[in-house]
Structure 1
Amino acid sequence: MKINYTFFSAITISMVICSCKAQQSSLVKDEAKLVQVSNAYSFTEGPAADKLGNVYFTDQPNNQIIKWNATDNSLSIFKEPAGRANGLYFDHEGNLLAAADEKNELWKIDENSYVDTLVTSYEGKKLNGPNDIWVDLKGGIYFTDPYYQREYWDRSEPEIEEKNVYYILPDTNEVNIIASGFVRPNGIIGTADGQTLYIADIGDKKTYSYSVQKDGSLTDKKLFTAMGSDGMTVDNKGNIYLTGNGVTIFNNKGQQIHHIPIKEDWTANVTFGGKNQDILFITAMGSVYTLKMNVKGVRY
């Protein structure tokens, strides 16, 4: 999440449509239009799709997790309060994982909104504030842990100096530092085959790729692009979607192949939703948007 976000007062849900004809791409459905589903929030983040294509996202300032229904385009509150949740991701059992940074925790939320707190600290020290999450094919959980000072915290500095990426082993729930050396790691996403992991260091305006080993460890760190990102996603063609100034799409060689402009000060995150996983769901400032695509998201 961006450090200094603007708080927008809630207004009624609207359906504002902007043409995307100016930048046609085979990635985007012919004649598709960017649809503003709602601008009723303060700062939207963390979109994650369930197996039915419904998308859950957060409004961190208002301490809510909201559900977008893929069938009727409706919006409803799934959980409130929500631990000041930021990034979200579904595990293989259908539980919603949440980077709940009110108390610097990682949550697992079941379909009845019951919370199981997975992580609260590392080696006796508070986490900086879990931000974004990815689950690998085995069920191991990667999460980024930058430090963004929150007004609702009592502390004013981190207990862990380094800004790390952590991995929770699927069998033992042991938590380990899996990658380090970042200014401020933020967005994180893996490929469909589980062999490549992308981590954005938004503090250093860079995104890196790593090779994922059988034990979840990371090797072969490479600079993917000289651009950071807030949230990230991938499609079924192996393209990587970065956010910040709208949505910028790269192929797996690190070449920019498309840009989706969003008329907001900041685009925070992106995922694929809908019954067929072909709707790009975008969170930006106080709004959420959808765009029909020719490519699809990745289900594990």
Structure 2
Amino acid sequence: MRPLRTRSTKTRPRANGEPWRRALPRFPRRVLWALVAMLTGSARAIETNMPPTIVPGARLEEMYADPRSFGGLAWDPAAQKLYFTVSGKSKEDTCILRLEAPGRAVVWADRTEGVNGILLSRDGRLLGAQAFGHRVLRYTLGEFQPRRVETLLHDDRLNQPNDLVEGLRGNIYFTDPDFANRTKSGVYLLRRSGELVKLISDMTLPKGLRLSNDGRTLYVGDSHEKLWRSFPVMPNGITGPGKIFFDPPVENRSDTDGMTIDELGNLYLPGRGGVWVVDPGGKALGLIPAPRFCSNVTFGDRDGRSLYLACDQRLYKIRARVRGALFVRQPRH
């Protein structure tokens, strides 16, 4: 594992003729990367510090590299392994990998028909949103491959199921973005009984989603609007009217994607430039800078204090001061 280091950029003239290099010392060193990556050319640029939930001085460690794109992440505490989805240039080139050691991964499930978002359920099985097969799947974990694959939902009217989260009594919430026309996207509730309910239809490209630790709030990212919304969850699982939860205070924003949550209820929202950390009230605590576009995050390792980042052709991790919510006994919402 090797720590990543920032590299100096070429001197570029400012509008007033002053070179960038002379202006850089005005900012703390730890925010220069974030400013260059996210805020160049932004009239509303703000300084973003490393979030207090990250170990002071911690750096990203490269865990795995692959020429394909990385998607969903899921940590299995029983096996102490990280599962992550990979997609290439064709529908056939999609699979689930399992990280065995830094720099080494094995194919755990091949030709998954575009399984993207994955999540470890409370009963220890792996849930998957299958884009091209229009399914929600459940994998029984095996050492070298799935012991069993179950179809919880198959509906060809769906677009491309993208991400999912487990809710009350085994109910599943999942996003279904309409990438083709951007007119039929939705966020759905799949009840344990098999009933499918469309909850949200006014988001252009919903992708990542997560429930609060008490199960009373559903957070959803809109990849088109490039912001995150929150929706109250009623006792019957239905969501109420939503509102903007976090609208990044920069102009050079990127697509929203997967997300995770820590034991304190803070959300980790990845994108271009790194990962925003936002408290339950929607206040930004800082930005974890990353050298590549980041699509998903999850907590892992034995103590639950490592944050894994799925970025463009790279998998990283960084040490945190808090545990992921998965590692703390939460109310059974």
Assess same fold via TM > 0.5.
Answer: yes
Distance 1:102 1:120 in 2: 11
Structure-1 residue corresponding to 2:243? 222
Letter in 1 for 2:278: F
- Tell me whether 1:126 sits opposite 2:157 in the alignment: yes
- Tell me whether 1:247 sits opposite 2:275 in the alignment: yes
Letter in 2 for 1:286: Q
Q: Which has the higher helix share?
A: 2
TM-score of the two chains, using structure 1 as the length reference: 0.84
Deviates most, 279-288 or 244-253:
244-253
Structure-1 residue corresponding to 2:305? 278
Structure-1 residue corresponding to 2:184? 162
Is contact 2:51-2:287 (8 Å) kept?
Answer: no
Cα offset for 1:220?
A: 4.0
Give CA-to-partner distance per residue, 1:69-106, whole Å, 9 cap, x none.
Answer: 4xx54522211122221111112221111111122221
Distance 1:274 1:224 in 2: 29
Higher Rg of the two aligned structures: 2
Distance 1:288 1:270 in 2: 10
Give CA-to-partner distance per residue, 1:191-223, whole Å, 9 cap, x none.
Answer: 111111101111112211111111111114121
Cα offset for 1:24?
A: 4.2
Cα offset for 1:37?
A: 0.7
Distance 1:163 1:196 in 2: 20
SS of 1:216's equivalent?
coil
Distance 1:35 1:67 in 2: 17
Is contact 1:29-1:292 (8 Å) kept?
Answer: yes
Cα offset for 1:117?
A: 1.4
Structure-1 residue corresponding to 2:82? 55
Letter in 2 for 1:18: L
Is contact 2:118-2:126 (8 Å) kept?
Answer: yes
**Selected match of 2:234 from 203, 213, 221:** 213
Letter in 2 for 1:105: R
SS of 2:112's equivalent?
coil
Distance 2:52 2:231 in 1: 28
SS of 2:169's equivalent?
coil
Distance 2:177 2:2 in 1: 34
Deviates most, 266-275 or 54-63:
54-63
Distance 2:106 2:94 in 1: 14
TM-score of the two chains, using structure 2 as the length reference: 0.76
CA RMSD in angstroms, aligned pairs only: 2.0
Give CA-to-partner distance per residue, 1:108-141, whole Å, 9 cap, x none.
Answer: 11114121112221xxx52100001110142110
Is contact 2:231-2:239 (8 Å) kept?
Answer: yes
Structure-2 residue corresponding to 1:33? 59
Cα offset for 1:19?
A: 5.2
Structure-2 residue corresponding to 1:3? none
Percentage of identical aligned residues: 27
Runs of 4+ in structure 1 deviating by more than 6 angstroms, as ranges, are none
Cα offset for 1:146?
A: 0.2
Distance 1:31 1:252 in 2: 25
Structure-1 residue corresponding to 2:219? 198
- Tell me whether 1:93 sits opposite 2:114 in the alignment: no
Structure-2 residue corresponding to 1:6? none
**Selected match of 2:174 from 135, 143, 154:** 143
Distance 2:51 2:199 in 1: 36
- The number of aligned residues is 270
SS of 1:75's equivalent?
strand
Question: 1:110-125 alignment to 2 at 5 Å?
Answer: 110-112=140-142, 113=146, 114-121=148-155, 125=156
